Amino acid sequence: MNFPNTSIANVRFPNLNLYTRFLLLFTATTILLVILIVLGSFSLSEKDAQRIVLDRHEALYEMMSKLVEGQIDIENLKTEAKKNRVTIQIKRGEEVWRTGSPLPEPSELMENAVPLGKLFFSKVGSKYFVSATSNDTTISVTSQIANLIVYPNWLVLWPWFAVLIVLLISYKALNAQLSPIQNAIESASQISKGNLKHRIESHPANDLGKLTNGLNGMAENLEELFASKNELLLSVSHELRSPMARMKVLLAILDSGETVSKLGLEINKMDAIVEQLLESERLRDSHKLLNLESYFFPNVMNDIIRSFDENEQISVEGVIPEIVINIDLGRFTFVVRNLIENAIKHSANSSPVMITCKQDENQVAIAVRDFGTGIEPEFLERLFEPFSQADNVNNRSNDGIGLGLFLCKRIAMAHGGDLLVKSELNKGSEFTFILPIVGINT
């Protein structure tokens, strides 16, 4: 029996909508399963068929003997054959009576016949026959139904294997039809994570093709929109640097005083903000921008901590691992200083800020822990987004515009690491800068 080819999963129905495809698939699968389950429920092995014949051989022999008694009545023979849905052939000497197509000769049937009482059970080709001899007359009978449900012992379970094959093919066909939905889900996930360059490669010629093409179009539009925004920020930042430089020169000419000092501080803050905006755009090239060099880790950390003028709030827990790290020193310093400064700003005056450095097999983790008011759980997901600041955190500095942690995250990722945060309201926060260790250390 020929089973459906698995290439059915790739069959295309360009003029059918999605609902019609599913209807056709489910209908065909249901029909095939019903047919196969019925065949499997009624199928018999040759041994089972022989046992049934043996159990009834006397009654069957009596019925067959009556048909060959005396003169053969062909009309009565056809009536009996039609009633029992069998084909009958009787041979007496050279005379032959049959109710349908010719059956094999008695000699051929007897070659591999199995005796079952007074009857003989034989198989020729793919058909099964029951024959008997009475009064020098041989009668042979075959049943279309029996030929449909009786199989060799090793093949009797084929309908159930066919059921599994149909289910497998249906699964593949269904998966092929629904794969664009999976692609759409993956695309939406990538876009939500900020990967606007992700595109769906294949588009089916149906309703789902409109969905996948639409997602690609949306990603392209968003990419263009963000590119325009970033280009505008970059242009504005560059344009602001020149007037600020001139303002610094003019302030230097003026006589020093409280007003001039305050103006200088504000201009420096604005200059820092512009520098942060420019840095955020530079870091789009990730590691290509970094000036990586090897440094002794304890020396780098001690220099950063000493830059806080021995602030009593800062304490180092444990020992700083004596390893060599491959970093862009300026940007690495920016990240660690920013984390310590934020911890100090968000803590009470007497609250400690703890720094812990732990080495793992392939990385070093720098954790900065404060015991301030913490961060709201709903804000944690947006903490590393540009221009984001928590509104309800006490002691929050108003000096920045929400680019510090965004830049720290980018610098960490540019180094091949990451920046993680854990926080609990009224108990404080912990930021962990994870940095991979290159193969310098042995």
Tens of pLDDT, residues 36-66: 888 778 788 888 888 999 999 899 998 888 8
- The per-residue pLDDT for 295 is 93
Query: Could you count the other beta carbons within 10 Å of the beta carbon of residue 301?
Result: 21
Q: In terms of domains, do 143 and 222 share one?
A: no
Ranges under pLDDT 70 in the chain: 1-16, 230, 233-234, 237-238, 241, 272-273, 275-289, 387-402, 439-442
pTM: predicted TM-score of the whole model, two decimal places: 0.48
Q: In terms of domains, do 143 and 70 share one?
A: yes
CA distance 176 to 164: 18
Q: In terms of domains, do 337 and 385 share one?
A: yes
324 assigned to some structural domain? yes
Q: In terms of domains, do 216 and 307 share one?
A: no
For residue 369, give the H/E element and its range.
strand 363-370
Q: In terms of domains, do 219 and 269 share one?
A: yes
- The per-residue pLDDT for 280 is 66
Which domain does 222 fall in, by range?
207-286
Q: In terms of domains, do 310 and 373 share one?
A: yes
Beta bridge mates, 97: 90
CA distance 122 to 125: 10
Task: Select from 155, 174, 194 the last residue of a domain.
Answer: 155
Distances (CA, A) of 4 to 173, 180, 355: 12, 24, 66
Q: In terms of domains, do 294 and 400 share one?
A: yes
Please name the residues in contact with 144: beta carbons below 8 A apart, sequence gap of 6 or more: 85, 86, 87
CA distance 223 to 229: 10
- The per-residue pLDDT for 3 is 42
Tokens of 86: 């069998």
